[in-house]
A and B are shown apart, each in its own frame.
Chain A
């Protein structure tokens, strides 16, 4: 079974070591670069990858591990790390109000300024070789030449109007340089670019008083950085946005469990998610199995055609078929309501009535999911010994009876892990919900957007990405709860699979 390891290291070692060394150095440099850019987390990840790379490809002991290193590294970096990071975010206040880190939030506040209308005046740019001068026609001042390539500060002197001025469009192209420019008037006033066409003296709204304290220019109030809420707060307790990301411990979880506006919808969404996943599995399984049984019937002709047509829904990309159904079910000009009205005179409100919307979602999910179950069932049905069925039939059992007492008990055990997997899949089937109903119709009286057809996964998705006030931290906290459910399901599935595997090997032995 296992290849002998004696030739390990027989290959030319020097070129390999040189390559590994170069690769490691490259990775280390990238790690350092990320660290220098204040991304310590990514720096650490790359550092870990670099170390793993050097050890596994450098030392001969780890020959076998060389084969699996890329796969394991990819899984750890792109599945395990995001999962861990999501859990971490669940304990922070990361949201559209607390998007930045502390330094950036402080920078944003410090860069805010109010232009003094008394000094505000239009300007023009005068080209002079590779450099430029700024001409302020209202006060008749001309600046010293400046390259406009980075932060600069030049003096203004009275001068006559220059002959050539840059067109406004070309001046706008120099915007970045202009914004970094400070001009000093002869009486010592510093003025900066305050708009597309104007220069003015700008008083910053906030100035730095100390490391953690900002002073508000308008009223002299001091704002203290509060690292427990992630905002600068004034003495009277008002918070000044933008805030920054801080850990808030169990804050999000408290919010989930204590605030009625979140707890109530979350609970009913959880129940609906279970119901949706369970019903989908049962219905697709029943439908798929029934079709598989008919297709297996020896006297049936045209099996190949039926089979290929029946799996067609599975072959069409799901995002297309779901959107097609979204159009077909449209209340006003959908083709399904056209038919229903013609035949029965009814026009169900598929998207505004909670019960109908849920029915629609389950119908569409059955359409999408039964072919997979049918394909699996056809495979498992072949494993049921024919003579068992014949014996039962000889005893006088009806074909229904044979199916329920002989066939079904024999295919359920191998089917079980796949049914659990299907349940787990539907538990998180957010593509269906997002594309078909986007969670709607909306529930009333909730703090966060929540719909009647939202499942937990789509609920968190919308909380994080769909609304203008995104709440990443809260979404992370709810995701953590979903993780617990999924972990339980995965473990149960894992055990079921192991059992199925051992039963299979026991039978074949």
Chain B
């Protein structure tokens, strides 16, 4: 382990890289194939053509034979005119779904961020009676996934919809309200960050006569900008990825978010594999990139925030 023979080391390196590359090829397979499918003609390979060519030769089918941008036009919501003159219309409003997702994600993200930051500051710095019990309670409640209360959520918003459709099923407001409940995890993350801030800062502020609110507003808030950015991105991605709640509350096609709408593509009766591939890349790519940038902070945030009790 400390001193290794060069031959041994070379062999080990060879195996390590070999393993990594084989594993990566396996893991990356869906990414390669989905790109190829998005450029392929038609929406599904006919099973007849599959059978006709057995053996290695049929593997060539994984690559597009006559590459076409048809699926990409449709994903962007544009009509596509095929070579024979037929015009294909987009099957689903992907761009609208994306806009719905982004709108809901941003509004709910801002809501969660403001509530979480203020609460985290109070939990970290202000003496409140019963704080420890409250923190433990929040922690326990947060472990109950909201998805388990779907029946009640449906019943509640179904009833509220009779008061005002604005608050009922199929309304983005309802979805945003429910998403606000995801605040607890983020309170812990930001609290972990605030706990690490030197107490000399707020003592100095208190001596200068600042109220706790002023201390928060002028000292902690500016300090928290980086962690707030991370929490916002995480909350945003979480909301965009939500399927169960959105699928229960949103029923009409024009109100759907991406997560709910994407499912329509692979319906047994209308199987749009090629159209789905292009739409999936189009909508998945931005989220993936944002996540890759934010992920460095994710794990430290999750680990620290949860453990620093």
The interface of chain A, by Cβ under 8 A from chain B, is 1-5, 7-8, 10-11, 33-34, 37, 39, 42, 63-65, 67-68, 70-72, 74-75, 77-86, 89, 94, 291, 294, 297, 299-300, 302, 306, 308-321, 323-328, 330, 332-333, 335, 338-339, 341-343, 345, 367, 375-376, 379, 389-390, 393-394, 399, 402, 414, 417-418, 421, 424-425, 428, 430-431, 434-435, 457, 460-461, 464-465, 472, 475-476, 479, 482-483, 486-487, 489-491, 493-494, 497-498, 500-501, 504
How long is the Cα–Cα vector from A103 to B154 in the complex, in angstroms?
21
Inter-chain contacts of B33 with A (CB < 8 A) = 328, 335
CB within 8 A of A424: which of B122, B143, B291?
A: B143
How long is the Cα–Cα vector from A377 to B29 in the complex, in angstroms?
24
How long is the Cα–Cα vector from A67 to B180 in the complex, in angstroms?
16
A431→B244 contact, CB < 8 A: yes
How long is the Cα–Cα vector from A81 to B157 in the complex, in angstroms?
13
- Contacts A3-B206, A333-B50; is A309 near B273 (CB within 8 Å)? no
CB within 8 A of B291: which of A37, A85, A315?
A: A315
Say if the beta carbon of B223 comes within 8 Å of chain A: no
B140→A494 contact, CB < 8 A: yes
Inter-chain contacts of B162 with A (CB < 8 A) = 37, 39
Query: Quick one: which of B121, B265, B266 has the most chain A CB within 10 A?
Result: B266
A479→B156 contact, CB < 8 A: no
Inter-chain contacts of B143 with A (CB < 8 A) = 421, 424, 486, 489-490, 493-494
Bin chain B's interface residue count: 35 or more
Q: How far is the CB of B233 from chain A (nearest CB, A)?
A: 12
CB within 8 A of A94: which of B47, B116, B155?
A: B155
**Closest residue of A by beta carbon distance from B128:** A64
How long is the Cα–Cα vector from A271 to B119 in the complex, in angstroms?
40
Inter-chain contacts of B34 with A (CB < 8 A) = 324
A464→B44 contact, CB < 8 A: no
Inter-chain contacts of B178 with A (CB < 8 A) = 78
CB within 8 A of B211: which of A8, A302, A342, A497?
A: A8
- Contacts A313-B27, A394-B2, A501-B308; is A3 near B202 (CB within 8 Å)? yes
B152→A342 contact, CB < 8 A: no
B147→A457 contact, CB < 8 A: yes
- Contacts A65-B128, A465-B150; is A342 near B56 (CB within 8 Å)? yes
The 6 closest A-B pairs by CB, nearest first: A67-B122, A78-B181, A393-B1, A82-B149, A71-B119, A85-B152
Inter-chain contacts of B258 with A (CB < 8 A) = 317, 319
**Closest residue of B by beta carbon distance from A90:** B151
Say if the beta carbon of B292 comes within 8 Å of chain A: yes
CB within 8 A of A312: which of B28, B122, B126, B139?
A: B28
B288→A312 contact, CB < 8 A: yes
Q: How far is the CB of A112 from chain B (nearest CB, A)?
A: 21
Inter-chain contacts of A460 with B (CB < 8 A) = 151
B266→A323 contact, CB < 8 A: yes
How long is the Cα–Cα vector from A324 to B29 in the complex, in angstroms?
11
How long is the Cα–Cα vector from A185 to B155 in the complex, in angstroms?
45
How long is the Cα–Cα vector from A315 to B212 in the complex, in angstroms?
39
A317→B259 contact, CB < 8 A: yes
Beyond A78-B146, A367-B30, 18 extra complex contacts between A and B, CB < 8 Å? A39-B162, A42-B160, A67-B126, A75-B181, A78-B177, A85-B152, A86-B149, A312-B292, A315-B292, A317-B237, A327-B276, A335-B37, A341-B50, A376-B303, A389-B1, A486-B145, A491-B140, A493-B143
Say if the beta carbon of B88 comes within 8 Å of chain A: no
Inter-chain contacts of A424 with B (CB < 8 A) = 143
Chain B 277-297, CB within 8 Å of chain A: the 1/0 string? 100100110011001100100
**Closest residue of B by beta carbon distance from A345:** B54
How long is the Cα–Cα vector from A317 to B290 in the complex, in angstroms?
11
Q: How far is the CB of A19 from chain B (nearest CB, A)?
A: 15
Inter-chain contacts of B139 with A (CB < 8 A) = 494
B152→A39 contact, CB < 8 A: no
Q: How far is the CB of A99 from chain B (nearest CB, A)?
A: 9
**Closest residue of B by beta carbon distance from A69:** B119
A319→B141 contact, CB < 8 A: no
How long is the Cα–Cα vector from A339 to B26 in the complex, in angstroms?
13
B303→A332 contact, CB < 8 A: no
Chosen A-B contacts, 11 in total, with CB atoms closer than 8 Å, are A64-B128, A67-B212, A75-B142, A81-B152, A312-B288, A320-B283, A375-B298, A402-B1, A430-B147, A457-B148, A497-B309
Say if the beta carbon of B75 comes within 8 Å of chain A: no
Say if the beta carbon of B144 comes within 8 Å of chain A: yes
A68→B47 contact, CB < 8 A: no
B306→A497 contact, CB < 8 A: yes
CB within 8 A of A68: which of B119, B266, B288, B300?
A: B119
How long is the Cα–Cα vector from A341 to B215 in the complex, in angstroms?
67
